[in-house]
Every structure is written in structure tokens, then in C-alpha cells.
């Protein structure tokens, strides 16, 4: 059974089509604009994220041009969301307090019309995580970003994860991701060797990167934080989400040229992110789309 709670205003029948209704040139231009806007506006991103990811997510946001703040305690999370330009809700190391902080912050985000992004870390592993994700989905995330196993778990398919890692291929879950997006009324981003972004109607893919990416722990969580930052400055949330993932893909690919292993890949990724151009990001989205169609 899907983890998406039924609600009268959520569409129950997914309207899944392919990329035909997407103008990829517009999406790529919008994504490039997002890269420029990040640096110009430096959005404040409230990250309620797990212990493992705090350092990398904060550094990655700083390198990309955003302003991170790790504020999760329920006594202040809702109040802080009143100041934030975007909110990250990551369930990687959950606790009752953490969950209350996430609910408070995402409720304020929804009230203010500020984007919030759910990272359903290891959602298929325990009933506590499943229940928490179900509770959060009632607050209608702007974007869900997960690996293939997590997206399948939210779609009701069990057994596709090993802890926080996916046991499934991101390329194989396009239909489930589109159905989840339509049902939850949000953008869904599935990462992996190929990243896929869908709103249930339109779809973008991003190819490339470095095959050693999975050896950098919390890279997915940090990608989620960057998706939130990009959604703070990009009105088209499909393009903004694709911008975030393409930024990481291009930067890690460049980092990988001189990286001896996962350690130097990690720090070189931050250097490359800070140096990235809007053109590189837009071009990657266009090229990936062309490859996907051929």
C-alpha cells in the first residue's frame, strides 16, 4: 500500500505521460537562471536533517550560493520557518522531538507558501519511518527527493532498499515516481546513476556524474538541501529541482577528473560547485533530454 495518505483534494488517478508536453529548452533556461539567482539572492534554507548529513549539506549549500541553518528543535523550528526561504525535512535520524520540529516547520512553510522538500531516508526500513513520512505527506511537500528504493517504498513497493541505500535502479522507477508525484501533488526526484525528475506529467533526466558518488555518505541528503535552495529561487519547481541535481552531477563529474578516491571527490565537489556556470547546468539538462529521447 502506498504511504501517501488519501485526501479529498489529492488526485487519486495519476495522469502519467512522457516528456512530450515539456519544452526542454525553457526548462534548461529556467535551470540556468536558478543557478544565477542562488548566488544573487542567497536563500536562507532551514535544514532539519540527520546528524550524518549536517556538515556536508551546510558546506554544499554554502558552495552553491545558499545560506544554510540547521534548526530542528520543536521549541524553535516553527518560529524559524517564519524566516526561512525554504525548509528541508529529512527523516534520516528521527526521534519524537525531531518529528515535532519537522511538523512545526513544514506547517509554517505551507502557511507562508514557502517550498519544503522531503527526504524519506530509509522509509521502507521501519514502521516508525513509514508513519512519520505518511504524517509529513499530509503537509503536501513541494518536492520529494529520494533514491529509487525510497521512492518505491513510498509507492508501496517493499524490499527495494538496504538501510539508507537503494537496491533498485533509478532508471527503472519512472512510472512509480510519476504516479507518486501525481498522487502526492508534488515534484518527485529519484537519484541514482541517472537522476529523474517528474511532476507526474512532465519528466526530466540528468545523466553523468561519477560512479563513486554513492561512497560519499549524505550526498543524497545534501542534494535534497540543494533542491530546497533552488526551489526558493525558481518558480518552476520541476526545472528548479533539475537544476539542483544537474549542479551536483556536473560538479562531481569535474571533481572526479582529479580525485583519487571518495575523500578528495568530496572536497573537490565543493570547489567545483562554487565555480559552476549557469550554462553548464542548462546544457546538461538539454543533453540528457536529447539522449533520453534517442
Ligand X SMILES: Nc1ncnc2c1ncn2[C@@H]1O[C@H](COP(=O)(O)OP(=O)(O)O)[C@@H](O)[C@H]1O
Ligand Y SMILES: Cc1ncsc1CCOP(=O)(O)O
**Binding site members for ATP:** 145, 191
Residues recorded for the chain: 294
Residue nearest to ligand X (CB): 220
Q: Least separation, in Å, of the C-beta of 13 and Mg ion?
A: 29
CA–CA gap between residue 257 and residue 268 (Å, rounded): 10
Burial pattern 244-283, b for ≥16 Cβ within 10 A else e, equals bbbbbbbbbbbbbeebeeeeebbebbbebbeebebebbbb
In terms of Cα–Cα distance, which of 146, 140, 71 is closest to 107? Answer: 140
Cβ neighbours, 10 Å, residue 98: 23
Q: Given the complex with ligand X, which of 78 and 94 has the nearer CB atom?
A: 94
Q: Which residues pair with 203 in a beta bridge?
A: 198
At 186, list the grid cell.
508534488
Q: Given the complex with Mg ion, which of 68 and 124 has the nearer CB atom?
A: 124
Part of the chain binding Mg ion (CB under 5 A), chosen from 29-37, 49-57, 200-208, 213-221: 213-221
Q: Least separation, in Å, of the C-beta of 208 and ligand Y?
A: 19
CA–CA gap between residue 39 and residue 55 (Å, rounded): 20
Strands (DSSP E) found in the chain: 44-48, 67-69, 86-90, 116-119, 143-147, 161-162, 165-166, 187-191, 194-198, 203-207
At 181, list the grid cell.
508525484
Query: Could you tell which of ligand Y, Mg ion, ligand X, none binds residue 249, using a CB distance below 5 to 8 A set by kind?
Result: ligand X
Q: Given the complex with Mg ion, which of 121 and 265 has the nearer CB atom?
A: 121
Query: Could you tell which of ligand Y, ligand X, Mg ion, none binds residue 195, using a CB distance below 5 to 8 A set by kind?
Result: ligand X
Query: Could you tell which of ligand X, ligand Y, Mg ion, none binds residue 50, using a CB distance below 5 to 8 A set by kind?
Result: ligand Y
Binding annotation: 70, 145, 191, 218
Q: Least separation, in Å, of the C-beta of 243 and ligand X?
A: 13
Our finding on whether 149 is near Mg ion (CB under 5 A) is no
Q: Which residues here bind ligand X, judged by CB under 6 A?
A: 147, 165-166, 191-193, 195, 209-211, 213-214, 219-220, 223, 245, 248-249
Q: Given the complex with Mg ion, which of 78 and 220 has the nearer CB atom?
A: 220
Q: Least separation, in Å, of the C-beta of 180 and ligand Y?
A: 18
Q: Least separation, in Å, of the C-beta of 54 and ligand X?
A: 15
Which residues touch 291 (CB under 8 Å, ≥6 apart)? Answer: 205, 207
Binding Mg ion (rule: CB under 5 A), the pick from 65, 192, 220, 234 is 220
In terms of Cα–Cα distance, which of 218, 215, 239 is closest to 227? Answer: 239
At 1, list the grid cell.
500500500
Binding annotation for substrate: 70, 218
Q: Which residues here bind ligand Y, judged by CB under 6 A?
A: 50, 52-53, 92-93, 121, 164, 217-221
Residue count, binding to Mg ion (CB under 5 A) = 2
Query: Could you tell which of ligand Y, Mg ion, ligand X, none binds residue 32, using a CB distance below 5 to 8 A set by kind?
Result: none
Contacting residues toward Mg ion, per CB under 5 A:
121, 220
Amino acid at each position: 500500500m502506498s504511504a501517501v495518505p488519501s485526501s479529498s483534494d489529492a488526485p487519486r488517478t495519476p495522469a502519467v505521460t512522457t516528456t512530450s508536453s515539456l519544452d526542454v529548452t525553457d526548462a534548461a533556461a529556467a535551470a540556468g537562471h536558478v543557478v544565477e539567482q542562488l548566488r544573487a539572492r542567497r536563500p536562507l534554507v532551514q535544514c532539519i536533517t540527520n546528524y550524518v548529513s549536517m556538515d556536508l549539506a551546510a558546506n554544499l549549500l554554502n558552495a552553491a550560493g545558499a545560506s544554510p541553518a540547521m534548526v530542528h528543535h520543536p521549541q524553535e523550528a516553527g518560529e524559524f520557518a517564519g524566516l526561512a526561504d525554504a525548509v528541508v525535512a529529512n527523516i534520516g535520524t528521527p526521534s519524537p522531538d525531531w518529528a515535532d520540529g519537522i511538523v512545526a516547520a513544514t506547517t509554517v512553510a505551507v502557511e507562508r507558501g514557502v517550498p519544503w522538500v522531503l527526504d524519506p531516508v530509509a522509509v521502507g526500513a521501519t514502521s516508525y519511518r513509514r508513519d512519520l513520512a505518511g504524517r509529513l505527506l499530509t503537509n503536501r511537500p513541494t518536492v520529494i527527493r529520494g533514491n529509487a528504493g525510497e521512492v518505491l517504498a513510498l509507492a508501496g513497493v517493499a524490499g527495494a532498499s538496504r538501510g539508507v541505500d537503494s537496491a533498485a535502479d533509478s532508471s527503472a522507477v519512472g512510472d512509480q515516481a510519476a504516479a507518486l508525484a501525481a498522487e502526492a501533488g508534488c515534484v518527485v526526484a529519484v537519484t541514482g546513476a541517472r537522476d529523474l525528475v517528474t511532476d507526474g506529467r512532465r519528466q526530466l533526466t540528468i545523466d553523468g556524474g561519477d560512479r563513486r558518488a554513492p561512497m560519499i555518505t549524505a550526498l543524497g541528503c545534501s542534494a535534497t538541501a540543494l533542491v530546497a535552495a533552488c526551489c526558493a529561487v525558481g518558480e518552476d519547481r520541476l526545472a528548479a529541482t533539475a537544476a539542483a541535481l544537474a549542479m551536483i552531477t556536473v560538479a562531481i563529474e569535474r571533481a572526479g577528473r582529479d580525485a583519487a578516491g571518495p575523500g578528495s571527490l568530496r572536497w573537490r565537489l565543493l570547489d567545483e560547485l562554487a565555480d559552476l556556470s549557469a550554462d553548464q547546468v542548462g546544457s546538461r539538462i538539454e543533453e540528457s533530454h536529447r539522449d533520453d529521447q534517442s
